[in-house]
Structure 1
Amino acid sequence: MKIKNKTLTYGFIAAGLMNIGGVLTFSRFFTNSSISEFDPVVMSNFGLLMILVWGLAYIAIAKDFEKVRWLVAVFAIEKLIYGIVWAKWLLNNDLSEVYAQDAMAGIFYTIYGANDWIFFLFFSYVFLRTMSKRNEFYN
């Protein structure tokens, strides 16, 4: 099954909106201290701001992703790292404590990594597809 470029463009936009909307919603526009309290290194306000910036980057290349295939690979690696960090965090923390303190933070910690794994697969697919198209061109 071949996915159309227009659909892939929407995938990049969705990834960006998930980052931007997720951070702004669950952090209550950077005022929810519970998120950074439970992971002060990765999810500090600075860390959350950088997640928002990654979202802007996804949207910025949405229509031209085929021209920046290696940047798409970087996106896949970035999502892989966040997915691994989330899995490790889940193994070493108790989500019920987060929910007890703040439901929005609890929801954030429940879903952010799943989102990262999904978009890791998406960016990996796009990268591999653009690499195979490149190889077709040169053969």
Structure 2
Amino acid sequence: MKWVTRAHVHVDRVACPWLITRFIDSEAEFIFVARNQVEQVVKETGAIPYDVPDVELGHKDGKCSFESLIEKYGLTDPALLRLAKIVHAADIESELHTDPIAAGLEAIATGFSLRFPDDFENLERQFEVYDALYAWCRLQVAGKL
């Protein structure tokens, strides 16, 4: 499947592709465009839009896009749900204080964006961060931390 979102990825727009490729669509193809081009790309390609205003897999009902994906695809892994809390807090500025890991994830996302402005390279490099954070979440929810 094709998936489309805004260019210049940051927390949610890195976390979502990680979640999609790891748990929803291992053959996913991502398209990054200007915000005002998303609707046209959806019409032309049938891509699934995420983390843009007014779409099913965007921010809604107080949830970030990562949480919307988890809900839509019925993912119940406790470690993913823990990771969702971190992503939510890191992605929504007013919520940054609600999780002790969130400020670090936000700082990492900013640093990667500065070092790797190409969205595809940024994703490739940050997926390792999310793999590691997910592994940590698995230990935490198992009570081993």
How does the TM-score come out when normalised to structure 1?
Answer: 0.30
Which structure: greater strand fraction? 2
How does the TM-score come out when normalised to structure 2?
Answer: 0.29
Which structure: greater helix fraction? 1
| Bigger CA radius of gyration | 1
